[in-house]
Amino acid sequence: MNWLKPSWQSVLAILLCLIAFALGAMTKPEAAALAEPAATLAYPYMGAKGLIIGLLLIAALVSMVKLTPIVEAIVLFVGAHAAAWLLIKGIAGFEGTALAPYFLLLAAAWLLAWRCVALLSWLRPSGSVARNALRLIIPAIFGAWILIIWEAVTRGAGIPFILLPPPSAIGARIANSLPILGSDVRQTIFKAVLIGYIVGNLAGFTVAILADRVPFLRRGLLPIGNMVSALPIIGVAPIMVMWFGFDWPSKAAVVIIMTFFPMLVNTVAGLAASGHMERDLMRTYASGYWPTLLKLRLPAAMPFIFNALKINSTLALIGAIVAEFFGTPVVGMGFRISTEVGRMNIDMVWAEIAVAALAGSVFYGVVALIERAVTFWHPSVRGG
Amino acid sequence: MTEQPPAVVSASKLGLTFQTNDGPVQALSNVDLTIGKGEFVSFIGPSGCGKTTLLRVIADLEKATAGAISVNGMTPEQAREKRAYGYVFQAAALFPWRTIERNVALPLEIIGLSQVEQAERIKRTMELVNLSGFEKKYPWQLSGGMQQRASIARALAFDADLLLMDEPFGALDEIVRDHLNEQLLDLWARTNKTICFVTHSIPEAVYLSTRIVVMSPRPGRVTDIIESTLPRERPLDIRETPEFLAIAARVRDGLRAGHSYDD
């Protein structure tokens, strides 16, 4: 039996397939057709049912034969995704009619995908290209299955569109409203978020240096800065709208208020992070305040400063979107979300959420990449 | 010695009291000491005897609270402002974001030397500590011994006549330490610098020094000053000679006398 290598995912998947087969009808129309064999009723999965079960069973069985992990992973990948695709395709036009076997088969396909990801994450390829590809493939499969299950469950169970639209509908909405989404991104991200982020971080940084240089500022300003960070954004946003008008400057102002304090606190902490020995060293060179700041204390503070930049990249996006709830011209991501919710266009809301998530991830990723380049020397980056 | 060379460091009745939460702590008391040009003076004693504090007072990293001290005929502060000394710490204290070469260049940048002169001095000091070929490495890519040699190169780079070393090899293993001691003596012979060297190793102190200052704690004070009779030329196996062992025995006696084991 040494050619056999069972995994619990595959065994469970086979079991689920067998139960699904035994339970019979996949959907209510099929059950109706079975009850009245005389009538010719159209029902989903007329031919595909056997194909799905067969695909899953073959993939599960092959995966238990001792093969190289990469072949096994490919078999599982193809089997799981082909089955999922057939499942989702077949339910079209019959939304909300799925019975237990539909969900059992979905679960079986998901288990095989799980096994596939587990195998891939065991792989230790030697080539750097393969390693990088794996680093992308594993989270991609993982993310794809969130969407697959979301799609299959919302369609199979017929979840009302208002509660949770299937991702395909959100994708279609994004594709159809690119101009609107584009102008919203321009208004919210390229104006309010970016300008507010840059000004807020620069202000926090400058004040931190000032507070470091001037003792009375350190003692007087830091507690006040603490208070600024505690201001509720919901309260501040309408006031900023009154002060700076409906357009993006009021949103940028909210972002400035939100990003200022994390940068201030982190920079102050970072400036204190250089060691005693290093500071004594600079003293033995009779180095003045500014050379010491530039050559020792700021480089040592960089991990802290980038921490603030990363925190602020997400805070800025939240701040700008929420601030738009309190009055904007008729463009902007926050504006769109608040009005489309009122018009029950939930797919548009989800489209904006998806765009915001994407933009936020890209923003964070760019900051994190710059961080790796700047603090290459830090043990957390160089790994050891 | 017929003619006394001019004093590089001279201290009289030097004292330093730290104010702590538990009341004043006397770190140094009544230290009288003169260090001439070209000497290699070791400070040895148990922890808390004030040997590092004394070095830090010379370097103007601490201020004496009693007595007088001059460095190159100036106050320590003036001497520091004039960059009269290079200081080597217990750890290498290299900046991890700079290559070895740029670390050595650090004091030169602060002094404001031209690029050409910086490059020339870097080359010379890297050769002096046998680190040629490692200029472009980062500190964390080198071993502990190499890091400490780089920090010595950094202290030598701006050509101060006085080198203050605070247990520079304390964290290294004995084989590396022997090797570095040998190199340090060689470097001292070639550059003719005055070196003040804090250590708690008797063989190290005897092997390196022309003079050994034995100190004892509570309060930190000098209990004995031993002139070495060893020649300046010292191979490592000089440590087996009776002369060496005799000096080591005297240092040990001095340490024992100053250290009351009763309490």
Chain A residue numbers touching B96 (CB-CB < 8 A)? 377-378
The yes-or-no verdict on residue B113 having pLDDT over 70 is yes
Tokens of B181: 């001691």
The region that residue B231 occupies, defined by phi over 0 for left and psi between -120 and 50 for alpha, beta otherwise, is beta
Q: Name the band, by pLDDT with cuts 50, 70 and 90, for residue B116.
A: very high
Instruction: Decide if B80 and A280 are in contact by the 8 Å CB cutoff.
Output: no
Give the residue-averaged pLDDT of A51-79.
87
pLDDT at A71: 87
Cβ atoms of A105 and A87 closer than 8 Å: yes
C-alpha to C-alpha distance for A159 and A157, rounded to whole angstroms: 6
Which residue on chain B is closest to A302 by alpha carbon? B97
What residues contact residue B255 under an 8 Å CB cut-off, 6+ apart?
A: B44, B45, B46, B202, B214, B216
The confidence score (pLDDT) of residue A1 equals: 54
B106 touches chain A (CB under 8 A): yes
**CB-based contact B111 A295, cutoff 8 Å:** no
- What's the pLDDT score for residue B2? 44
Dist CA B55 CA A232 (whole Å): 54
Residues of A in contact with B81 (CB under 8 A): 286
The pLDDT tens digits of the residues spanning A88-99 come to 888 888 888 888
CA distance A326 to A337: 12
Distance CA A84, CA A114 (A): 13
How close, in Å, is residue A130 to chain B by CA atoms?
27
Q: Which chain A residues are Cβ-neighbours of B138 within 8 angstroms? A: 377
Contact B83/A285, CB-based, under 8 Å? yes
Residues of B in contact with A278 (CB under 8 A): 93, 95
B137 in contact with A, Cβ within 8 Å = no
pLDDT band per the 50, 70, 90 thresholds, residue B262: very low
Q: Where are the alpha helices (DSSP H) in B28-82?
A: 51-58, 76-81
B175 vs A201, higher pLDDT:
A201
Task: Provide the angle, in degrees to the nearest 10, between the axes of the packed helices A48-64 and A8-23.
Answer: 160
Give percent of chain B above pLDDT 70: 95
CA distance B107 to chain A (A): 6
| Contact by Cβ (8 Å): B17, B62 | no
Rounded-to-integer distance, Cα A163 and Cα B145, Å: 66
Phi/psi for B31 (5° steps) reads -90, 120
Res. B73 pLDDT band, cuts 50 70 90: confident
Q: Mean pLDDT, to the nearest integer, of A200-212?
A: 93
CA distance A87 to A129: 34
Among the partner-chain residues A280, A287, A384, the one whose CB lies closest to the CB of B61 is A280
pTM given for the model: 0.82
The mean predicted confidence, pLDDT, of chain A is 88
Residues of chain B contacting residue A372, judged by C-beta atoms under 8 Å apart: none
Closest CB to A286 among B83, B86, B140: B83
Over residues A49-66, mean pLDDT: 87
How far is it, in rounded angstroms, from Cα A207 to Cα A308? 14
Min Cα separation A350/chain B (Å): 44
Q: Name the one residue in this structure whose structure tokens are 């995994």.
A: A7
Residue identified by tokens 């609270």 is B65
Q: With CA atoms as reference, report the closest residue to A205 among A301, A135, A279, A138.
A: A301
Neighbours of A249 (CB within 10 A): 16
Top-level CATH class of A174-382? Answer: mainly alpha
Domain range list for chain A: 8-158, 174-382
Task: Find chain B residues with C-beta within 8 A of A284's C-beta.
Answer: 59, 61, 80, 85-87
Average pLDDT over every residue of B159-167: 88
Question: Could you report the predicted ipTM of this complex, rounded to two decimals?
Answer: 0.87
Contacts of A296 in chain B (CB under 8 A): 95
Of A41-45, B160-164, B190-194, the one with minimum mean pLDDT is A41-45
Model pLDDT, residue B259:
61
Whether residue B219 has a cis bond before it, omega within 30° of 0: yes
- Among chain B residues, the shortest Cα distance to A296 is held by B95
Q: Between A286, A295, A296, which is nearest B81 by CB?
A: A286
Strand B211-216 versus strand B40-44 pairing type: parallel
pLDDT given for residue B228 in this prediction? 84
Alpha-carbon distances, residue A43 vs A39, A107, A192, A346, B85 (angstroms): 12, 22, 52, 30, 92
Least confident of A106-115, A200-209, A286-295, B225-234: B225-234
Residues of A with CB under 8 A from a CB of B: 275, 277-278, 280-287, 291, 295-296, 299, 302, 375-379, 382, 384
What pLDDT is stored for residue B263 in this prediction?
44
Which residue from A282, A284, A376 is facing B59, i.e. has the nearest CB? A284
Tens of pLDDT, residue by residue over A14-36, are 999 999 888 888 888 888 888 88
Instruction: Specify the 3-state DSSP secondary structure of A257.
Output: helix
- Look at the block and give the residue holding tokens 């998947």: A13
- Angle at alpha carbon of residue A73, lines to A70 and A76, rounded to 5°: 155
Take residue A288 and report the two structure tokens written for it. Answer: 């003045």
Residue A13 has pLDDT above 70, yes or no: yes
pLDDT of residue B4: 54
- Structure-token match 């080539």, residue found: A127
Residue A58 pLDDT > 60, yes or no? yes
Instruction: Tell me the pLDDT band of A384, cut-offs 50, 70 and 90.
Output: low
Best of B60, B89, B113, B164 to substitute, by most chain A Cβ atoms within 10 angstroms, is B89
Structural domains in chain B plus CATH codes: 37-64+74-84+162-258 (3.40.50.300), 92-159 (no CATH)
The predicted pLDDT at position A364 comes to: 94
- Please say if the pLDDT value at position B123 is more than 70: yes
Could you tell me which residues come within 8 angstroms of residue B4 by beta carbon, excluding any fewer than 6 positions away? Answer: B36
B3 pLDDT above the threshold of 60: no
Neighbouring C-beta atoms of residue A224, cutoff 10 Å: 9
Q: Which helix (H) or strand (E) holds B187?
A: helix B174-191
**Confidence (pLDDT) at A28:** 84
Does the structure show a pLDDT above 50 at A129?
Answer: yes
- Measured N-to-C along each axis, helices A194-213 and A298-323 cross at an angle, to the nearest 10 degrees, of 140
pLDDT at A309 over 90: yes
Do B232 and B200 touch, CB atoms closer than 8 A?
A: no
pLDDT bin (cut points 50, 70, 90) of residue A336 is very high
Structure tokens at B150: 């780089």
Residue B41 is which amino acid? Answer: V
Average pLDDT of the residues in B193-209: 89
